[in-house]
A and B are shown apart, each in its own frame.
Chain A
Amino acid sequence: DVKVTQSSRYLVKRTGEKVFLECVQDMDHENMFWYRQDPGLGLRLIYFSYDVKMKEKGDIPEGYSVSREKKERFSLILESASTNQTSMYLCASSLKGETSPLHFGNGTRLTVT
């Protein structure tokens, strides 16, 4: 079974802080993704990566950056947290291939005060 592990379940940060969200998958998946999930909206893609050291902007990359130094780990960085970044953050991974489903972590609920 694929396991996608997000380092924190809940985080509370102050406005302006730099925030790191970590995600590790154990199934050698090539693709990794960061989404945010807000009530009443579909999942929105922040960044994704198809390989080590590669990254691509998703639909809402502003205010975020990512790092993928190792295949199994994909980090999301909030350079200077703001209250409108309060959300549920979901990491996902998948094999290459258009039919490959996403495997999600349990999410990190981030509150920025």
Chain B
Amino acid sequence: GQNIDQPTEMTATEGAIVQINCTYQTSGFNGLFWYQQHAGEAPTFLSYNVLDGLEEKGRFSSFLSRSKGYSYLLLKELQMKDSASYLCAVKDSNYQLIWGAGTKLIIKP
């Protein structure tokens, strides 16, 4: 079967750095997406990786290793507004999105 694994919940301190991991086992791979979802709101697109390596976008970076079936989202200089759920999703060989259950990130002052 197809599977995306993320930690259920993480806690970090304002101003610090946090890494949210995502491992996947899918039938084929056609890209990996990260979305942010604040409580009660719509998910919003953060990043897309299809080649190995690190993609940096301001305070957020996303890394992909296709050989390891692994990605992480790195958040630097954490702010209270970064408290949200972070969803990892992979496009399989049929270009269908397979979603992880999401990681709830709690930021403490």
Complex contact B87–A43 (CB within 8 A):
yes
State the main secondary structure of chain A at its contact with B.
Answer: loop
Q: Which residues of chain A are near B74, meaning CB under 8 Å?
A: none
- The stretch among B10-18, B38-46, B53-61, B64-72 that forms the contact with chain A is B38-46
Complex contact A101–B48 (CB within 8 A):
yes
How many angstroms from the CA of A44 to the CA of B97 in the assembled complex?
A: 9
How many angstroms from the CA of A105 to the CA of B40 in the assembled complex?
A: 11
Distance in angstroms from A96 CB to nearest chain B CB is 11
Interface residues on A, range: 10 to 19
Indicate whether A4 reaches chain B with its CB closer than 8 angstroms.
yes
Smallest Cβ-Cβ distance to B34: which chain A residue: A101
Q: Contacts A42-B4, A42-B101, A45-B97 hold; do A106 and B50 have CB atoms under 8 A apart? A: no
How many angstroms from the CA of A36 to the CA of B99 in the assembled complex?
A: 12
Complex contact A107–B42 (CB within 8 A):
yes
Q: Which residues of chain B are near A101, meaning CB under 8 Å?
A: 33, 45, 48
5 pairs, A vs B, C-beta closer than 8 Å: A42-B102, A44-B99, A90-B42, A102-B43, A104-B42
